[in-house]
Amino acid sequence: MNVVNSYVGQPIERIEDLRLLRGRGQFVDDLHLDGMLHAAVLRSSIPHGRIIRLDTTAARVLPGVAAVITAAEIGDPVPTIPLRLVPMSDLVPYEQPVIANGKVRYVGEPIAVVVAESAAIAEDALELIAVEIETLPPCVDTRSAAANQSLLFEETGTNLALTYTTVLGDADAAFAAATTDEYYIRRERFDTQRHTATTMETRGLIGAWDSERQHLTVYGAAKVPFASRGMLAKQIGLPESAVDLIEGDVGGGFGMRGEFYPEDFLIPFAARHLDRPVKWIEDRREHLLTCNHAREFDCDLELLCRRDGTILAVRGRINGNIGAYIRSNATIAPRNIAQFFSGPYRIPNIHIESTMLVTNKTPTGTYRGPGRFEGDFFRECLFDVVADDLGIDPVAFRRRNLITRDEMPAKLATITPVRQQEELDCGDYLQTLDRCLAEFHWVDKAKLKGRLIEGRYHGVGIGCFIEGGGVGPRENARMVLESDGSIAVYVGSAIVGQGLETVCVQIAADALEVPMERIRIFHGSTTYLHAGFGSFGSRSTVMGGSAIIDAAENLKKAIRTAAALRLNCAVDDVLLEAGMAKSPDGNVVGWTDLASENLRADGTFFCDRRTYGYGAHAAHVAVDPGTGHVEVVDYVAVGDVGRIINPMALRGQIVGAIVQGLGSTFLEHLVYDEDGQLLTGSLADYLLPTAIDYPNIRVFDQEEYPSPNNPLGAKGAGEGGIIPVGGVIANAIASAIGVQPKSLPLSPSRVWELMNP
């Protein structure tokens, strides 16, 4: 039996789905520990102010209340949440304390935690806490923040936390030299709205303290358990070996879930403080109010090109409203939006500044395709504006400026202050554009531009993108030969509902040359490996899968070594096949017989170079001039993701990402009033796409250009589906109504206003 390479590349149904669909999953709220208490969090109703009085007396004496925890109980100094990625000393003053300490800076900031015998008692006790806050003037947008009239952090003297600068060539010189009619310059402003990832399962935690072992266990970890363990251990004053984070089933991540939040300290602290398990489950309003928000950027950009459409330079400024604090990954979107602004296009001169401004809104973080979704909207809309002004077909404009296969690897702009240099690894961007146009039937549909058919205006839009994935620097895996001959595979990658369990089984089965049924995956928890790096930046398959391959090679060496002693032959002469070890003279020993040797092997994959998937999307829309409603008549996505491990799982990821992108483009908007109060705090106001809203999505995947940076040849594919959606839809609407949208979301009222200025 030879099963080499028989699973990777096959559309195998997700092995985790049967358990989950039968209700046999184990999410954090399914866990119940003996003696468990329940927590509720008192949150600020004021966006900006000083805490004058905090009286918890009445709450503490309510029957069933075990404790009320404030900054006073935690002690001085109150820990803050550090940056997980690319920490910088200049940003330390803007870190969020785990609980309000003298000042509040956004509605929803934790002020106190009540721990009680039931969640209902804890909620009742919150009403008994008396809080007096001296209000301070709020700033809620980048303009008021930049004016520094109301400072969130008086000691810094500014609301401008950081400015990234992205440079390639000399943009200023290129603009200065453009003095004849041969050149064309266009300046435009665009903005994207604040919204967030909305997972099926809200956040939740259980903290459990073992006083005898002096050991803390936290259930409900996700995304980056090892990094979160390091943060928590340092904050709470324990060695990392005394803290374990346990990952169960997770109902969605999308970049938001699993980052370190105040509750990730407060609940374990409460458990240790009381020496009893403590559970906290976030409700939907808390989710919308306190989880990392995303996407709120505005920009002022200039594009320089020749009259034939050849792009020469881009420059400008992008302002990011990052909310009240710098939380664990708040720097990623502002960095990405600048560094990857050029996308798959040849732009020889770039100078873009991207700012991070603190305001009295909920802190921001990453959301699927952070910075790239926003940057693609800005770029692709700007391209259509320029092409229209020059009288150039939008497809021809893109074709002229796409990086060619022969130009690979192609350097991207350098960004400071981190001095990070990136280059596109491989690919043929013209190929995916051409296939997208063919599958979409662009030539025929382009004739619909602006036509009124049965009372609706029709239009089409196109856009190209890149997706950076495979974020390093390394990932780990371990394989153990069990007594029944099965293989336990422990991975540092986290599983957040993306189907990674199935993908890991496919990779491990092929690497070991055994049936899938003999592989069991254990993921995420800090108890399994000495170190792991989690799932973010489209890295889990690329990095985790490559670590599995390394572990498999090492396990096979261990099996050959043990079998050689049994078979009385040289190690190199042992042949492994279908769970058996054979000697040259035909003697055989089964892997099951070798399990008593306690055979195990670790694997690690190192890589400091990203992978870059890429592709093109096209959309056909119909706009009702009476209401502004937009129907997505057809949507085609073509992408090259390197080697495809599971086409079925990949298609689900891409379709889901496109639907998220359509929700981001049309519906989702976290609206604040001028006083810093969130107006969309429930799903009655914060609209989400449903399964029937966008049925006409067609996905075509390619694997023509495997990545040279990992043994799988895979490129990250979890985010590419969402990245170009906003720009593609905006351009399709512009094609239909003759007016270019420059702001998201494109709600019916906004589209109607574009048509009726």
Tens-place pLDDT, residues 520-544: 999 889 999 999 999 998 999 999 9
Residue 475 and residue 295: Cα distance in Å, rounded?
29
pTM: 0.96
CB within 8 A of 419, min separation 6: which ones? none
The SS3 assignment for 72 reads helix
Task: Provide the pairing of β-strand 452-453 with 204-210.
Answer: unpaired
Burial of residue 626 (number of CB atoms within 10 Å: 0-12, 13-18, 19+): exposed
When pLDDT is averaged across residues 550-556 and rounded to a whole number, the result is 97
Mean pLDDT of 349-378: 98
Closest to 352 measured CA to CA, from 419, 414, 424: 414
Residues 265, 128: Cα–Cα separation, whole Å: 24
Long-range contacts of 557-563 (CB under 8 A, 24+ apart): 557/601, 558/599, 558/600, 558/601, 559/481, 559/591, 559/594, 559/599, 562/594, 562/597, 562/599, 563/589, 563/594
H helix count then E strand count, the chain: 20, 30
Contact 710, 650 (CB under 8 A): no
DSSP state of 684: T
Rounded CA-CA distance 116/64 in Å is 5
The answer as to CATH 3.40.1280.10 being correct for domain 297-416+425-470+610-755 is: no
- Residue-wise pLDDT tens digits, 368-389: 999 999 999 999 999 999 999 9
Q: Residue 396: which residues within 8 A CB-CB, separation 6 or more?
A: 309, 387
- Specify the amino acid at residue 105: R
Query: What is the share, in percent, of the chain residues with pLDDT greater than 70?
Result: 99
Q: Using the 8-state DSSP alphabet, how is residue 543 labeled?
A: I
CATH class of residue range 33-136+200-252+257-290 = alpha beta
Predicted confidence at residue 2, as pLDDT, reads 46
d(C-alpha 702, C-alpha 691), whole Å: 26
- Extract the runs of DSSP E, i.e. beta strands, from 269-382: 278-281, 297-306, 311-323, 349-358
Q: What is the mean pLDDT of residues 404-418?
A: 94
pLDDT above 60 for 4: no
Is 644 in contact with 715 (CB distance < 8 Å)?
Answer: no
The phi-psi region of residue 297 (left if phi > 0; otherwise alpha if psi is between -120 and 50; otherwise beta) is beta
Cβ atoms within 10 Å, residue 714 = 29
Segments making up each domain of the chain, as ranges:
17-26+472-606, 33-136+200-252+257-290, 297-416+425-470+610-755
Q: What is the pLDDT of residue 171?
A: 98
Is a pLDDT exceeding 60 seen at residue 489?
Answer: yes
Q: Is the pLDDT of residue 421 over 90?
A: no
Per CATH, the number for 17-26+472-606 is: 3.30.365.10
pLDDT value at residue 1: 34
Output the six-digit token pair for 478: 């371990």
pLDDT of 471 higher than 70: yes
Is the pLDDT at 445 greater than 90? The verdict is yes
For 29-44, how does the pLDDT look when each residue is reduced to its tens digit (9 = 90+)?
Answer: 999 999 999 999 999 9
Sheet with 600-606: strands ordered across: 519-523, 487-491, 474-481, 600-606
Helix (H) or strand (E) holding 634: strand 630-640
Reported as a single tens digit per residue, the pLDDT across 58-111 is 999 999 999 999 999 999 999 999 999 888 999 999 999 999 999 999 999 999
Using CA atoms, how far apart are residues 387 and 734, in angstroms rounded to an integer? 12
Q: What angle do CA 45, 296, 162 make, to 5 degrees?
A: 95
Instruction: Tell me what pLDDT residue 579 has.
Output: 86
Question: For residue 608, what pLDDT is reported?
Answer: 87
Question: What is the distance between the alpha carbons of residues 362 and 346, in angstroms, rounded to a whole number?
Answer: 36
- For residue 578, pLDDT over 90 is answered with no
How far from 495 is each of 90, 223, 251, CA to CA, in Å? Answer: 33, 7, 10
Whether the per-residue pLDDT at 319 is higher than 80: the answer is: yes
Q: Which of 48-52, 267-271, 570-574 has the lowest mean pLDDT?
A: 570-574
For the stretch 628-669, pLDDT in tens is 999 999 999 999 999 999 999 999 999 999 999 999 999 999
User: Is it the case that residue 591 has pLDDT exceeding 60?
Assistant: yes
Query: DSSP per residue over 201-235, as a string?
Result: SPPEEEEEEETTTTEEEEE---S-HHHHHHHHHHH
Round the average pLDDT of the chain to a whole number and report it. 96
Query: How large is the average pLDDT for residues 599-612?
Result: 94
User: What does the alpha-carbon distance between residue 28 and residue 222 come to, in Å, rounded to a whole number?
Assistant: 11
For residue 472, the model assigns a pLDDT of 83
Tens digit of each residue's pLDDT (9 = 90 or more) over 294-308: 999 999 999 999 999
Q: What's the rounded Cα separation, in Å, for the pair 58 and 127?
A: 9
* 33-136+200-252+257-290 and 297-416+425-470+610-755, same CATH topology: no
Q: Are 648 and 641 in contact (CB under 8 A)?
A: no
Place of tokens 């329940």: 38
Q: Predicted confidence band at 679 (pLDDT cuts at 50, 70, 90)?
A: very high
Q: Is the pLDDT of residue 199 over 80?
A: yes
Contact 714, 541 (CB under 8 A): yes
Q: How many angstroms separate the CA atoms of 592 and 579, rounded?
A: 8
3-state secondary structure 556-582: HHHHHHHHHHHHCCCHHHCEEECCEEE
Mean pLDDT of 242-269: 96
Task: Check whether 5 has a pLDDT greater than 80.
Answer: no
Kindly tell me if the per-residue pLDDT of 272 is higher than 90.
yes
pLDDT at 86 (0 to 100): 86
538 backbone φψ class: left, alpha, beta (φ>0; ψ -120 to 50): left
Contact assessment for residue 271 and residue 347, using Cβ atoms and an 8 Å cutoff: no
Q: Where are the alpha helices (DSSP H) in 327-454?
A: 332-339, 372-390, 394-401, 429-440, 442-445
Q: How far apart are CA 622 and CA 634, in angstroms?
A: 10
Beta carbons within 10 angstroms of residue 320's beta carbon: 28
Q: How high is the pLDDT of residue 3?
A: 45
